[in-house]
Chains A and B, each alone.
Chain A
Amino acid sequence: MLQVIDLEKVYSTGTKALSSVSFAVDEPQVIAIIGPSGAGKSTLIRCINRLVAPTSGKVMLDSIDVASVSRRELRKVRRRMGMIFQEYNLVDRLTVMENLLSGRLGYVSFWRAYRRKFPPRDVAAAFKLLERVGLEGYQNTRADALSGGQRQRVGIARALMQAPDLLLVDEPTASLDPKTSRQIMRLLVELVNEQGTPALVNIHDVALAQSFSDKIIGLKEGAIVFQGTSKEITEDVLTEIYGEEDWSLTIRKVDEEDEDTGSKKGKKDNGYIQEAVAG
């Protein structure tokens, strides 16, 4: 599915953000990327869909190297990767429905996008997703009238409208309160399992990462210093990633493991878009 090979990023200011990062994503699961501020988490996520151009290395999505394709090919490959942001990044002056449909921009013609005449199956899929993320009836509300949690739900639905093969999630809960954060993470995990789409999630809350992810990647100063399951997170590992600190209260007890991240993984189903066609 996704294979990141020896990824490097040096910004024009000389800051080395990523150094020889390699990992693979081959099954529908939630992979959390943890690490201190400035460790390169955001850069890593953005290098994968080339919102930030990597300096060297490969980002292989199946057999396509995202890092080296032409701009035209890049747009095509970006359609296959849905992105969710910390600040939601909805187009504030557009309605919820228009924001959802923007996930289909890569597929429709300019004039259809201009007149907001999206294919009926896209609209049907949007209504279904709206219901799924708990925002039924909000289609004509302007995005700037929503609360933070609601906006993030729209953000998630927009990413899923792309019927993506991979979700890139950048600090989805950093602007939300603890309860909403958990709801959003739970929704994300459920959707990953329902749709069989793997998700790479940047997150700085270690406890949240442990609760909701199948695999954790620890990033420090642009390099991977830990790869493993949430059970393998120990005080030593956290010290390695973040530096010396009393971690005893941060680590989630293994025996408290609940079924949030359960093992109910299904095969990748057809997703909402195809489902709506059939229906």
Chain B
Amino acid sequence: MTSSEITTTADTPGWNRIRMIENPNVRYGLVVIALIYILWSAGTLEMNWTRLLNGIPRAVNMFSRMFPPDFGRWNLLVKGMLESIQMALAASLFGMLLAIPLGICGASNLVPKPVYLAARALIVLSRTFHEIIIAIFFVKIFGFGPLAGVLTLIVASTSFISKMIAEDIENMTPGQLEAIRATGASFPKLLIYCITPNTLPRFLGVSIYRLDANIRHSTVVGIVGAGGIGQVLAASFSRYDYDFSLAILITIVTLVFAGEFISSWVRNYLR
């Protein structure tokens, strides 16, 4: 045992890495099950080849009718676009404002347990449904148009931003909160003097990211009738005005790019 050479004998046990799944039967068994599943699902996949083939000439037809893009009805385009931008801006602003109280209530280190649970339940609930589903609800309730779209985006923005705020507050070192509490500061003063400086940069960053996301989403919710450029797009498709559709798509891409560019610039500045 005093030998300087590394040997593996009965006295000096070798070393094996610890596996996530210790039992080799289970480990390889899972691999076999995965393989069987892939083969089985490939076998049951019903590809309707004739339908797929029929689709190709239709696609060619559609794309050829898209060119050249028709910007002739630019007034309709601009109107829809502005509506989308307005929807995004309004939704982001209201989302930010509503997210502050909800986010604070969702931070377990600040509020009593029942408040925390209620706020978190609200956040989770509003994140459960996709924007489209919420938009369909609001269109049913408030009718077609941008109001339904704005409300949809407000719900989505609020839940998203408030979740970020809550998590940012929970990640704060408890010491700072303790120190400010120890000075005899009340809860509102704790908010402005300790929590705000710690969470403001990220709050603004997330909000701007959300504004960018809202511009994208505002084009989507329009498709179910909730106003904005999406509604114009859906209408153009249903009227087979494919050249106009392409013009709209190009405009959307430009807008989203611009939004992305501006938001990343601002977020860099905040950091």
Q: Which residues of A contact B (CB under 8 A)?
A: 49, 51, 75-79, 81-83, 85, 87-94, 98, 102-106, 110, 113-114, 155, 158, 162, 168
Specify which chain B residues have a CB less than 8 angstroms from the CB of A87 in the assembled complex: 173, 175
Q: Within residues 141 to 188 of chain B, which ones have a CB less than 8 A from any CB in chain A?
A: 173, 175-176, 178-186, 188
On chain B, the residues within 8 Å of A77 by CB distance are 184
How far, in angstroms, from A65 to B201 measured CA to CA in the complex? 41
B184 touches A83 (CB 8 A): no
Q: Are A89 and B184 neighbours in the complex by a CB distance under 8 Å?
A: no
- Determine if B197 is an interface residue (Cβ-Cβ < 8 Å): yes
In the complex, chain A residues whose CB is within 8 Å of the CB of B185: 75, 102, 105-106, 113
A91-B180, A93-B198, A158-B183 known, 4 other contacts, Cβ within 8 Å: A81-B182, A102-B180, A110-B189, A113-B193
Tell me if A89 and B183 are in contact (CB < 8 A): no
Once the chains are docked, how many angstroms separate the CA of A92 from the CA of B179?
Answer: 12
Contact residues in A for B173 (Cβ distance below 8 Å): 87, 89
17 examples of A-B residue contacts, CB within 8 angstroms: A77-B184, A83-B183, A85-B175, A88-B175, A89-B179, A90-B179, A91-B180, A91-B198, A93-B198, A94-B193, A102-B179, A102-B180, A102-B183, A103-B183, A113-B185, A113-B192, A162-B183
Measured between C-beta atoms, what is the minimum distance from A125 to chain B in Å? 14
Whether A105 pairs with B198 at a CB distance below 8 angstroms is no
Residues of A within 8 A of B201 (CB): 93
Chain B interface residue bracket vs A: 20 to 34
**Nearest opposing residue in chain B for A106, CB measure:** B184
Partner of A106, one of B179, B183, B188: B183
In the bound complex, CA of A83 to CA of B173 (Å): 17
Q: Which residues on B are within 8 Å of A, measured CB to CB?
A: 173, 175-176, 178-186, 188-189, 192-194, 197-198, 201
Chain B residues in 8 Å Cβ range of A91: 176, 179-180, 193-194, 197-198
B110 to chain A, nearest CB (A): 15
Which of A79, A81, A82, A89 has the most chain B CB atoms inside 10 A of its CB? A89
Contacts of A78 in B (CB 8 A): 181-184
A49, B185: Cα distance in complex, Å:
13
Contact in complex: B178, A76 (CB < 8 Å)? no
Give the residues in chain B near A79, CB-CB below 8 Å.
183-184
- Which residues of the partner chain B approach A85 to less than 8 Å between Cβ atoms? 175, 178-179
| Interface contact A49-B182, CB-CB below 8 Å | yes
Question: What is the bound-complex CA distance between A162 and B184, given in angstroms?
Answer: 9
**A141 → B minimal CB distance (Å):** 15
Does A105 contact B179, Cβ atoms closer than 8 Å?
A: no
Question: How far does the alpha carbon of A78 sit from the alpha carbon of B178 in the complex, in Å?
Answer: 12
User: Across the interface, which residues of B come within 8 angstroms of A83, CB to CB?
Assistant: 179, 182-183
Q: How far is the CA of A46 from the CA of B163 in the complex (A)?
A: 31
Query: How many angstroms between the C-alpha atoms of A78 and B185 in the bound complex?
Result: 9
Chain A residue with Cβ nearest B178:
A51
Which B-chain residue is minimally distant from A87 (CB atoms)? B175
Q: Complex: how many Å from CA A49 to CA B188?
A: 20
Which residues of the other chain, B, contact A92 by a CB distance below 8 angstroms?
176, 197-198
Q: Which residues of A contact B194 (CB under 8 A)?
A: 91, 102
Across the interface, B181 reaches (CB within 8 A) one of A51, A93, A113, A162, namely A51
Q: A90 CA to B186 CA in the complex, in Å?
A: 17
Min CB distance, A252 to chain B, in Å?
31
A102 in complex: contacting residue of B175, B186, B188, B193, CB < 8 Å = B193
Report B-chain residues with C-beta under 8 Å of the C-beta of A158.
179, 183
